[in-house]
Amino acid sequence: MNNSWVIFVAYLIGSIPFSFLVGRWWKGIDIRQCGSGNVGTTNVWRTAGPVAGIIALAGDLGKGVLAVILARHFGGPWLVTLAGAAVLAGHSWPLFLGFKGGKLIATAAGVFAAVSFPVLACTAVIWFVLVGIFRYISLASILGIISIPILMAAFHLDFPYILLGVFAAVFAVYKHIPNMKRLANGTEPKINLKKW
């Protein structure tokens, strides 16, 4: 049986715009018109508060986990890799928001938590340490996701999963180009750890 439908379903799962929906339901706002304009967890947290941010985070994480579980049920590492890429594409270019979505970090965390929890746990430590030192969410996110394929190789994961890690890292760096420009010229906003 051809399981290519799993890839399409994974894309549709990724297209569910939890951050947009939480912004609407929690505070009656269009997250695309607030803060950074990004349809993602960090922007929800900053504009609608921590509780709304946590709900959005849970939804975006859950998308990644669900896509991997579905693919594993119907296939092996290659199907998981393709479904993982599809759910990330869905989050970044969602069908339900005119193909304008988020920067994929939270959904990628869900994907890699389901692929290899030890890899995700190490990445989370890297992320928290970098946020604590530099107070830039974007910098921590970029360097954290770049570490994923390296960690996957260190943990001897199957090649398709490492390839998914490389895809996610390249994809995330591309989506964060505006942040990198702001980091370079000193205009990227820092977080206030006392408010988190």
Mean pLDDT over each residue of the chain, to the nearest integer = 93
Question: Is residue 9 a contact partner of residue 33, using CB atoms and an 8 Å limit?
Answer: no
* C-alpha to C-alpha distance for 116 and 147, rounded to whole angstroms: 14
User: What is the rounded distance in angstroms from the CA atom of residue 165 to the CA atom of residue 121?
Assistant: 15
Mean pLDDT of 105-112: 96
So what's the pLDDT on residue 194? 58
pTM of the model: 0.93
Q: Using the CB atoms, write b or e for 72-104: b if 16+ within 10 Å.
A: beebebebbbbbbbbbbbbbbbbeebeeebbbb
Residue 103 in this model has a pLDDT that exceeds 80: yes
pLDDT of residue 146: 97
What is the pLDDT averaged over residues 55-76? Answer: 96
The tens digit of pLDDT for each residue in 20-56 reads 999 999 888 999 998 888 888 888 988 888 899 999 9
